[in-house]
C-alpha cells in the first residue's frame, strides 16, 4: 500500500504493512519471499523511498527454508515513470507561450533527474525567474542571472510577494511534501510538471498538469516555441539583491547570518554543506548560494533534529577528496555529538560548526510570536565557558567573530582529522527573518 499523500507521507517513505504470523508462514511457504519482492519493487518505483515491513518477533527470528525465486523479467528493479502524453506537452507549451511573467519553481523530485542540465536548457529556451525549494537548491546554479533563491524559508513573504507578480508558476518536479502549494501560490495559475499528479487544495489555481518522467517532459518542453516575456534581468537582480540584504539585518554582535557567510566564503565551490533542523535551517536555505546538485544536504520537510553530523560523515566517506562542512545548532549538537568520534576514527577532516546561541531558537521565536513565556527552550543555563580542548579526542575551539571563525575554518579544512568549532552567536535577528 503506497501512501502518496503529501500531507501524511514522511519524506518519500513508502509503507508496506503486511504482518506475517507463524501460521501464515506454514500455510503459505512463498509468502515472505513474495512480500520482500513486492517491498523491493515499491522501493525502486517512483517516488523512490524506503519500505517498512512489519513482522512479529517470532517470525522475524524463525528459520525460513523457502527457495529464493529465480531472477526473471518480473524481478524487482527500478520502475521508471512513463512519459507524459504529447497532448499534455502541447497544452503546457500553449500556457508557456501565453504567459507574460512566468516563474519557474524547482522541487525535490527534480533531484532524481538523470539529466539535471535540462533545467538550465529549459531556462535558456524559456527565460524566466527561477526559484527552488530547500531540497532542490543547486539544481540550477544560484549564480544564474535569473535565480531568485529559495522559497518558504527566511523572509518568505518577500518571495511570496515576488511570485504574486507572476501570471504563471511553472512547477518543475515539485513535491508538496516540502511545502503545500496553497501556502505560497496565492491566486497565480500553476502549471505542474512532475512524476505524480499535483496534491492541491481547492483554492490552488491549477491550470494544467504534465505527469510523467520529468526528463522526458523537459526534453520536449525545451523544443516548444518560446513566448515573449516581460521580465528583465535588472528587475530580477534587484529583487535578489533586496532579498539577500533583508536576510542580513544590522546586528550589534556576531550573528548567525555572518557565520553562514563565512562558511560559504571558505568552503570551496565544489564543497558540500550538511546542516541540521532549527532556526538556522531557514536562514541557511534562503541565504546560502548553492552551485550544483547534491552539494546542499538537508533532511526532508519538517523532519526531526539530528541530521547534520551523520549527513556530513556520509558525504565525506562517499567522496573523501571533496571538502565537507557541517553546520548545526547547539541543541542539535547535544543530540548527536558522540558521532564526532566516528569522524575521529576515520580521520575525516570535517569542520563541525556549532552555532551556539544558548536557545532552541526556532521554538523561542514561535513563543515570542504568540506572546508566550519562554519555556524549555534555553539550552545553557550557566555563564558561557570556552569549550574543552577536545571532545572524544577531537580538537575543539571557540570563536566569537567572523574573523576568528574564518581563521579556524581554514585550519580545520587543512587538518588531518575533524574539528569542532563552537561559534558563539547572537540569535536576535532570527525574530526578524525566520518567519517574515
CATH number for the domain that contains residue 385: 3.40.50.970
Which residues does residue 296 pair with via DSSP β-bridges, in sequence order?
273
Q: Virtual CA dihedral for 368, 369, 372, 376, nearest 10 degrees?
A: -50
| Chosen domain end from 80, 115, 130 | 80
Which of 130-134, 196-200, 386-390 has the largest mean confidence?
A: 130-134
Q: What is the pLDDT of residue 70?
A: 63
Average pLDDT score over residue span 120-126: 97
Q: Is 71 exposed, middle or buried (0-12, 13-18, 19+ CB in 10 A)?
A: exposed
Do 165 and 67 lie in one domain? The reply is no
Q: What is the pLDDT of residue 389?
A: 82
- 207 grid coordinates: 491550470
**Into how many domains does the chain fold?**
3
Residue 256 has pLDDT above 70, yes or no: yes
Do 422 and 402 lie in one domain? The reply is yes
* 316-359 residue pLDDT tens: 999 999 999 999 999 889 889 999 999 999 999 999 999 998 76
Closest CA to 357 of 247, 279, 267, 261: 279
Quick check: helix, strand or coil at residue 375? coil
Domain that holds residue 74: 1-80
* 138-182 residue pLDDT tens: 999 999 999 999 999 999 999 999 999 999 999 999 999 899 999
Average pLDDT score over residue span 266-271: 98
Do 100 and 222 lie in one domain? The reply is yes
Can you give the pTM of this predicted structure?
0.84
Average pLDDT score over residue span 3-13: 35
- When mean pLDDT is compared across 75-84, 107-116, 117-126, 405-414, the lowest value belongs to 75-84
Q: What is the pLDDT of residue 421?
A: 97
The enclosing domain of 94 has a CATH number of: 3.40.50.1220
Sign of CA dihedral 337, 284, 311, 171: positive
Do 92 and 156 lie in one domain? The reply is yes
- When mean pLDDT is compared across 68-77, 188-197, 378-387, the lowest value belongs to 68-77
The reply to whether omega before 47 is within 30° of 0 (cis) is: yes
Q: What is the pLDDT of residue 18?
A: 38
* 276-325 residue pLDDT tens: 998 899 999 999 999 999 999 998 766 788 999 999 999 999 999 999 99
Confidence of residue 218 (pLDDT cuts 50, 70, 90): very high
Confidence of residue 79 (pLDDT cuts 50, 70, 90): low
| Chosen domain end from 192, 208, 242 | 242
Q: What is the pLDDT of residue 29?
A: 43
Do 209 and 130 lie in one domain? The reply is yes
Residue 105 has pLDDT above 60, yes or no: yes
Q: What is the pLDDT of residue 46?
A: 81
Do 51 and 130 lie in one domain? The reply is no
Q: Who wins on pLDDT, 30 or 287?
A: 287
Residue 377 has pLDDT above 80, yes or no: no
Do 150 and 266 lie in one domain? The reply is no
Do 144 and 103 lie in one domain? The reply is yes
Do 287 and 306 lie in one domain? The reply is yes
CA atoms within 13 Å, Cβ hemisphere of 343:
34
- 176 grid coordinates: 508538496
Per-residue CA distances from 68 to 16, 29, 36, 55, 350 (Å):
20, 11, 10, 19, 43
Over pLDDT 70: what percentage of the chain?
85
Q: Which residue has the cell 558525504?
A: 315
Average pLDDT score over residue span 77-96: 89
Do 288 and 395 lie in one domain? The reply is yes
Average pLDDT score over residue span 73-98: 83
Q: Who wins on pLDDT, 64 or 49?
A: 49
| Chosen domain end from 242, 259, 291 | 242
- When mean pLDDT is compared across 22-26, 213-217, 278-282, 379-383, the lowest value belongs to 22-26
Do 152 and 273 lie in one domain? The reply is no
Give the C-alpha separation, 326 to 312, whole Å: 6
Over pLDDT 90: what percentage of the chain?
66
Residues with Cβ within 8 Å of residue 385, at least 6 apart in sequence: none
Do 100 and 65 lie in one domain? The reply is no
Give the C-alpha separation, 429 to 251, whole Å: 7
Residue 73 has pLDDT above 90, yes or no: no
Amino acid at each position: 500500500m503506497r501512501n502518496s499523500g503529501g500531507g501524511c507521507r514522511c519524506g518519500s517513505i513508502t509503507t508496506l504493512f503486511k504482518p506475517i504470523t507463524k501460521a501464515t508462514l506454514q500455510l503459505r511457504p512463498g509468502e515472505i519471499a513474495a512480500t520482500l519482492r513486492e517491498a523491493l519493487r515499491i522501493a525502486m518505483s517512483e517516488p523512490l523511498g524506503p519500505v517498512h515491513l512489519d513482522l512479529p518477533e517470532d517470525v522475524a527470528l524463525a528459520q525460513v527454508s523457502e527457495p529464493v525465486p529465480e531472477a526473471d523479467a518480473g524481478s524487482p528493479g527500478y520502475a521508471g515513470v512513463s512519459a507524459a502524453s504529447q497532448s499534455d506537452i502541447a497544452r503546457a507549451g500553449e500556457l508557456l507561450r501565453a504567459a507574460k511573467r512566468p516563474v519557474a519553481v524547482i522541487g525535490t523530485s527534480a533531484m532524481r533527474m538523470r539529466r539535471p542540465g535540462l533545467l538550465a536548457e529549459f531556462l535558456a529556451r524559456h527565460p524566466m525567474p527561477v526559484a527552488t525549494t530547500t531540497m532542490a537548491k543547486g539544481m540550477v546554479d544560484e549564480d544564474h542571472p535569473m535565480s531568485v533563491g529559495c522559497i518558504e524559508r527566511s523572509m518568505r513573504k518577500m518571495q511570496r510577494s515576488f511570485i504574486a507578480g507572476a501570471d504563471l508558476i511553472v512547477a518543475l518536479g515539485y513535491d508538496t511534501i516540502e511545502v503545500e502549494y496553497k501556502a505560497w501560490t496565492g491566486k497565480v495559475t500553476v502549471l505542474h510538471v512532475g512524476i505524480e499528479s499535483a496534491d492541491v487544495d481547492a483554492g490552488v489555481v491549477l491550470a494544467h498538469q504534465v505527469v510523467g518522467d520529468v526528463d522526458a517532459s523537459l526534453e520536449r518542453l525545451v523544443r516548444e516555441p518560446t513566448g515573449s516575456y516581460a521580465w528583465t534581468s535588472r528587475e530580477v537582480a534587484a529583487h535578489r539583491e533586496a532579498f539577500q540584504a533583508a536576510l542580513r539585518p544590522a546586528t550589534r554582535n556576531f550573528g548567525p547570518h555572518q557565520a553562514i557567510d563565512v562558511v560559504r566564503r571558505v568552503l570551496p565551490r565544489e564543497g558540500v554543506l550538511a546542516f541540521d533542523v532549527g532556526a538556522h535551517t531557514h536562514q541557511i536555505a534562503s541565504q546560502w548560494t548553492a552551485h550544483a546538485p547534491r552539494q546542499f544536504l538537508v533532511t526532508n520537510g519538517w523532519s526531526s533534529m539530528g541530521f547534520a553530523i551523520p549527513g556530513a560523515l556520509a558525504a565525506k566517506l562517499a567522496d573523501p577528496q571533496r571538502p565537507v562542512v557541517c553546520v548545526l545548532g547547539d541543541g542539535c549538537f547535544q543530540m548527536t555529538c558522540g558521532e564526532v568520534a566516528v569522524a575521529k576514527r576515520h580521520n575525516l577532516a570535517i569542520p563541525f560548526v556549532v552555532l551556539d546561541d544558548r536557545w532552541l531558537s526556532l521554538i523561542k521565536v514561535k513563543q515570542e510570536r504568540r506572546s508566550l513565556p519562554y519555556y524549555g527552550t534555553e539550552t545553557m543555563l550557566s555563564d558561557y565557558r570556552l569549550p574543552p580542548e577536545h571532545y572524544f579526542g577531537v580538537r575543539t575551539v571557540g570563536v566569537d567573530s567572523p574573523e576568528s571563525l574564518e581563521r579556524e575554518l581554514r585550519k580545520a579544512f587543512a587538518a588531518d582529522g575533524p574539528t569542532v568549532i563552537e561559534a558563539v552567536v547572537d540569535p536576535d535577528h532570527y525574530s526578524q527573518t525566520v518567519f517574515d
